[in-house]
């Protein structure tokens, strides 16, 4: 039992619903039986035919008890409800009762169609049809045309209503199951994308660290050879080793913090440094070769940046340009890189119509492109914003705070240079 104030579990809710259903069935059976007994003993005008009070009372009580099991054992309830009256009728006359006999049979028939599984609904329909044929042949009171139309019509409507409810519930459960499976699959796909992107980032940072270590080894060898002849050169080499080592350690800390349990991928053995911001002109040249009017604007005083941060900025621009080519239908794209003492700001805007409906997830945070951007930028304490612009086009903005600098919002100055692209306004 759930403690007061605690949230009920799914099992608790199912148990409570089952208990309420059993209570409802007992109350329903009690009510129908009570009205049926009153129909016999008062009597009501609905009591018809020749019969005896006590056998009729026995039939009503038996049918009432059977109705208490109509959900758990619908077919057994239908068997008892349909054959009790005909069987007792063979030995002693029984009244024809609407509330005491006809209503319990209709409820039992409804229960087979509503709560039965497999062939139970159809077996229940067959039992109902056989019982009605018995009435039509052997019970004179029910042989009139109006009586036959009435009880056949009511039984058909009751069974059809129960069967329709059952089919509706099955379709709802199937829709819920498919929705849950789709959500699970989407979540798994998103997790796989994040893990794949983190592994890719780790490989690239591994290359940066490996290149830094190689530089340190070369500088250490040079310092060792000239330490006696040229102390100043040796001192500069040691300073380079110290700075390179500090950068390498910083990149390693980020790798360890980001990539904990991801599966390792095979290395290709290439220890060359990864591209940085100086590779943007070549990247935009490739974009222009693909048919886009691509321009680059660099603002502010450039300063030396950690290789990993430069790689992150390069990858943000690269992914944004890829999305422009694939999804926007743009004719022109502009890249603005703004250097600031506290942060590096990047904006990539286009004059296209934005992602097509089929690519909505790419811009809403669910696509692999933005997953990669956000993973990379978050590793340096920054953020990425992407969305349509007020008067057409699409923009991706990224802020990368420099060492010991707080994460600032994207400066409005980025928008000032975007309007130079034909058809693009901030």
Q: What does the pLDDT look like over 60-116, one tens digit per residue?
A: 999 999 999 999 899 999 999 999 988 998 888 899 999 999 999 999 999 999 998
* Total domain count, the chain: 3
Q: Does one domain contain both 107 and 208?
A: no
* Domain at 384, CATH number: 3.30.565.10
High-pLDDT (> 70) share of the chain, %? 77
Q: Does one domain contain both 29 and 98?
A: yes
Q: Does one domain contain both 128 and 248?
A: no
35 pLDDT above the threshold of 90: yes
Q: Is 46 helix (H, G, I), strand (E, B) or coil?
A: coil
Establish if 265 belongs to a structural domain: no
Cα–Cα distance measured from residue 162 to residue 159, given in angstroms and rounded to the nearest whole number: 5
Cα–Cα distance measured from residue 138 to residue 154, given in angstroms and rounded to the nearest whole number: 20
Establish if 172 belongs to a structural domain: no
Residue 354: per-residue pLDDT: 59
* String of DSSP letters for 86-154: HHHHTTS---B-IIIIIHHHHHHHHHHHHH--TTHHHHHHHHHHHHHHHHHHH-GGG-SHHHHHHHHHH
Q: Does one domain contain both 322 and 402?
A: yes
Residue 302: per-residue pLDDT: 83
Cα–Cα distance measured from residue 424 to residue 416, given in angstroms and rounded to the nearest whole number: 11
412 pLDDT above the threshold of 80: no
Establish if 1 belongs to a structural domain: no
Query: H or E element: which one contains 279?
Result: none
Nearest Cα neighbor of 294 from 276, 317, 316, 312 is 317
Beta bridge partners of 425: none
Cα–Cα distance measured from residue 308 to residue 275, given in angstroms and rounded to the nearest whole number: 9
Cα–Cα distance measured from residue 422 to residue 404, given in angstroms and rounded to the nearest whole number: 38
Domain of 101 in residue numbering reads as 10-143
Residue range 160-181, pLDDT digits in tens: 999 999 889 889 888 888 888 8
Establish if 351 belongs to a structural domain: yes
pLDDT band at 409 (very low <50, low <70, confident <90, very high): very low
Q: Does one domain contain both 97 and 231?
A: no
**Token code pair at residue 44:** 């009501």
Count of CA atoms in the C-beta half-sphere (13 A) of 108: 32
**Token code pair at residue 294:** 């691509």
Establish if 317 belongs to a structural domain: yes
Q: How many CB atoms lie within 10 A of CB 198?
A: 20
Check residues 379 and 228 and name the one with the higher pLDDT.
379
> Which DSSP letter does residue 261 get?
S
Residue 127: per-residue pLDDT: 92
Residue 410: per-residue pLDDT: 38
* String of DSSP letters for 174-190: HHHHHHHHHHHHHHHHH
**Token code pair at residue 43:** 């009597």
Q: Does one domain contain both 124 and 226?
A: no
How high does pLDDT run on average in the chain? 79
Q: Does one domain contain both 371 and 414?
A: yes
Q: Does one domain contain both 246 and 300?
A: no
Establish if 168 belongs to a structural domain: no
- Choosing from 103, 128, 143, the residue where a domain stops is 143
Q: Does one domain contain both 55 and 136?
A: yes
Q: Is 162 helix (H, G, I), strand (E, B) or coil?
A: helix
Residues 6+ apart with CB under 8 A from 143: 135, 136
- Choosing from 143, 164, 182, the residue where a domain stops is 143
Q: Does one domain contain both 202 and 298?
A: no
Cα–Cα distance measured from residue 323 to residue 263, given in angstroms and rounded to the nearest whole number: 28
Establish if 239 belongs to a structural domain: yes
67 and 80 Cβ atoms separated by less than 8 Å: no
Establish if 221 belongs to a structural domain: yes
* Domain at 227, CATH number: 1.20.5
pLDDT band at 58 (very low <50, low <70, confident <90, very high): very high
Cα–Cα distance measured from residue 162 to residue 164, given in angstroms and rounded to the nearest whole number: 5
Q: Does one domain contain both 201 and 242?
A: yes
Q: Does one domain contain both 137 and 94?
A: yes
């Amino acid at each position: 039992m759930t403690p007061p104030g605690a949230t009920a579990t799914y099992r608790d809710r199912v148990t409570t619903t089952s208990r309420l259903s059993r209570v409802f069935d007992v109350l329903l059976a009690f009510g129908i039986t009570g009205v049926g007994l009153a129909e016999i003993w008062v009597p009501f005008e609905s009591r018809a035919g020749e019969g005896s009070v006590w056998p009729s009372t026995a039939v009503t009580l038996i049918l009432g008890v059977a109705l208490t099991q109509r959900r758990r054992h619908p077919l057994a309830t239908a068997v008892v409800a349909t054959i009790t009256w005909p069987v007792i009728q063979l030995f002693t006359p029984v009244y024809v009762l609407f509330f005491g006999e006809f209503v319990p049979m209709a409820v039992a028939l409804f229960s087979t169609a509503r709560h039965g599984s497999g062939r139970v609904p159809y077996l229940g329909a067959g039992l109902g049809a056989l019982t009605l044929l018995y009435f039509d042949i052997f019970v004179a009171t029910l042989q009139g045309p109006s009586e036959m139309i009435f009880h056949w019509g009511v039984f058909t409507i009751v069974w059809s209503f129960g069967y329709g409810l059952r089919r509706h519930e099955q379709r709802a459960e199937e829709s819920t199951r498919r929705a849950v499976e789709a959500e699970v699959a989407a979540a798994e796909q998103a997790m796989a994308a994040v893990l794949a992107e983190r592994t890719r980032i780790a490989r690239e940072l591994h290359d940066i660290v490996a290149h830094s270590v190689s530089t340190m080894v070369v500088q250490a060898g040079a310092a060792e050879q000239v330490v006696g002849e040229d102390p100043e050169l040796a001192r500069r080499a040691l300073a380079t080793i110290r700075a390179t080592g500090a950068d390498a350690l910083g990149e390693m800390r980020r790798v360890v913090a980001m990539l904990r349990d991801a599966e390792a991928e095979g290395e290709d053995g290439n220890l060359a440094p990864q591209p940085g911001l100086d590779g943007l002109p070549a990247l935009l040249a490739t974009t222009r070769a693909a048919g886009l009017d691509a321009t680059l604007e660099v603002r502010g005083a450039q300063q030396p940046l950690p290789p990993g941060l430069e790689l992150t900025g390069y990858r943000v621009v690269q992914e944004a340009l890829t999305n422009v080519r694939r999804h926007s239908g743009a004719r022109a794209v502009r890249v603005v890189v703004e250097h600031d003492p506290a942060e590096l700001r990047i904006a990539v805007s286009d004059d296209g119509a934005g992602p097509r409906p089929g690519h909505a997830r790419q811009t809403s945070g669910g696509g692999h492109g933005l997953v990669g951007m956000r993973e990379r930028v978050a590793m340096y304490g920054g953020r990425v914003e992407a969305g349509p612009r007020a008067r057409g086009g699409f923009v991706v903005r990224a802020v990368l705070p420099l060492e010991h600098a707080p994460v600032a919002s994207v400066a409005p100055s980025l928008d000032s240079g975007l309007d130079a692209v034909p058809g693009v306004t901030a």
